Amino acid sequence: MSVRDRALKALSQLPPFSPTLNRLIASLAQEDIHFAKIADLIEKDTVLAGNVLRLVNSALFSLPATVNSIRHAVAILGINKLRNTVLSMSVSRMWNSLKTPPGWSMARFNLHSVGTALLCDELAQHSKVEYAEGAFAAGLFHDLGLLLIATGLPEEYKQIALLCQQDQKWKLEYEIEVLGTTHTELSADALTAWNLPAPIREGVRHMDYPERDPLARPGVTTLSRVLHAADRQVKGMGSSVSLFEGSVDEGKNALESLGLNDQIHGILERFENDFGALKPYF
């Protein structure tokens, strides 16, 4: 069995999706989803409903009165923000039940994934991005292949980690040396198996080298380029999957490549507020 097949076999061995997560994944391929449908899904999951209400009543929103109903929470958050929040909470809860190799931190993985998703979504709102509505999902699942390596190929994961200790940076070259492929390719393959839209899959596949993205064309920013910038910035701020951190300069340069210089301060400020509010849940 090939490395790719072994890694994707680990995908089939993930815990079963909850009904809520199944519907949310399916909704990523839809143009829109109604408030009532999202509210109905959340209300059927006691833990999820409690976390959503806790978030809405947090200092982030500073509401004058306590919100006690999911329908009210939906109205306050808006459909996209609520879907993103519930998606990240549902996915991280599923990941937390996985058996992972020594040295792997699921908390770090969840935080990096959610942070990248939040910033990717924020950046997409301020750029002319192809399929901007898929930015959050692209960020949330961009390292899914790395999780599959850790859970489905633990010995290979250990070999790559040992190689990375040489220069304190996780490198795709080491993945190719050990696996013959990269975690971004595996992520994209997994998202194909989940039937996520092509722009999300290709954004994840080409995030490390967005200039190679076949969807790139003049005047339009691809999800791969936004994802590249978000991932580097979040790593530079100290939130990465492993101890092999990205640099602050690397994140700054990636953000500047999007041509948002005059908006970067405001974007990062909003991101830090949202990320800070969600961190306690992961």
pTM for the model stands at: 0.86
Q: What is the pLDDT of residue 246?
A: 52
Task: For residue 250, count CB atoms less than 10 angstroms from its CB and return exposed for 0-12, middle for 13-18, buried for 19 or more.
Answer: middle
- Please, what are the averages of pLDDT over each run of 10 residues along the chain (282 residues)? 84 78 71 70 83 84 82 81 83 84 87 93 88 90 92 90 76 88 94 90 93 82 93 84 56 78 87 86 78
Helix spans in 13-134 (H): 19-27, 35-43, 46-56, 70-77, 79-95, 106-124
Using alpha carbons, select from 173, 170, 161 the residue that is nearest to residue 232. 170
Q: What is the pLDDT of residue 192?
A: 92
Q: Could you tell me how far CA 240 lies from the centroid of its own chain?
A: 12
How many domains is the chain partitioned into structurally? 1
3-class SS at 15?
coil
Q: What is the pLDDT of residue 186?
A: 94
Tokens of 173: 């070259």
Which domain range does residue 185 map to?
3-281
Q: What is the pLDDT of residue 195?
A: 86
Q: What is the pLDDT of residue 241?
A: 67
| CATH code, domain carrying 266 | 1.10.3210.10
The CA R_g of the chain, rounded to the nearest whole Å, is 18
In degrees, rounded to 5, the angle at the alpha carbon of residue 282 between the alpha carbons of residues 181 and 17 is 65
Cα dihedral 271→274→280→282 (10° resolution): -60
Mapped to the 3 state alphabet, what secondary structure does 245-275 carry?
A: CCCHHHHHHHHHCCCCCCCHHHHHHHHHHHH
Q: What is the pLDDT of residue 85?
A: 85
Q: What is the pLDDT of residue 30?
A: 62
Q: What is the pLDDT of residue 71?
A: 84
